[in-house]
Amino acid sequence: MSQPRDDRQDDLFRPSLEKIINLRHPLVRLAAEIDWNFLAGRFSSVCRLGPGQPPLPTRLIAGLFILKHMHNLSDEALCDRWVENPYFQYFCGEVVFRHNLPFDRSSLTRWRQRLGEEQIAALLQESLSVAHRTGAIETKGVTVGLKLARLSTPPPNRLGDNWVGPT
């Protein structure tokens, strides 16, 4: 797998996130427990070397999918929160705080298509297991299940008066 572009030199005079954030925050603890190298190896099958920009770091993509599921966010809301939340950025492997996304929002859709629902479900299940084991999240007696099914019809509150339904 190719290495992502190294642009740390541009961030030389900005303070590191580790000096700004609380290192006991649940997302920081969870990030320390996840085996990011294992995930990089697992995702390497979908990364192909070739012309164009280098691929996004695996930790960034895996971290985004985990955060999206943990907080039940749309792609748009996830990207908005990532820009304003230093804990999200640290969890995804950033070293300094960024004021804009280091990727295009459509990258999430392309990665979801490349990985497939099975690998995303495995990623989420493993990360939730680690999060529960380390105490980064609490379940409080609720069984958490992964639902990756797509809706074939819009939710009822968004249906127009003209919608008849499937026949």
Range of the domain at 85: 8-158
Counted domains in the chain: 1
* Domain membership flag for residue 95: yes
pTM, two decimals, is 0.70
* Domain membership flag for residue 167: no
Separation between Cα atoms, residue 117 and residue 15, nearest integer Å? 37
Picking from 27, 107, 31, the residue whose alpha carbon sits closest to that of residue 75 is: 107
111 Cβ contact partners less than 8 Å away, ≥ 6 residues apart: 46, 56, 61, 65
Say which DSSP state 140 is in. Answer: T
Say which DSSP state 84 is in. Answer: H
Tokens in use for 155? 């939710």
* Domain membership flag for residue 165: no
Separation between Cα atoms, residue 137 and residue 125, nearest integer Å? 13
Separation between Cα atoms, residue 40 and residue 43, nearest integer Å? 5
* Domain membership flag for residue 91: yes
pLDDT in tens, 126-158: 777 777 776 666 655 444 443 433 333 344 444
What residues are paired with 96 via a beta bridge? 16
* Domain membership flag for residue 166: no
* Domain membership flag for residue 163: no
The better pLDDT of the pair 165, 129 is held by 129
* Domain membership flag for residue 13: yes
Alpha helices (H) in the chain, listed in sequence order: 26-33, 36-43, 58-71, 75-84, 86-91, 106-134
Mean pLDDT of 10-18: 76
* Domain membership flag for residue 1: no
pLDDT in tens, 58-113: 899 889 999 998 899 999 999 999 999 999 999 999 999 999 998 888 888 888 88
* 12, pLDDT greater than 80: no
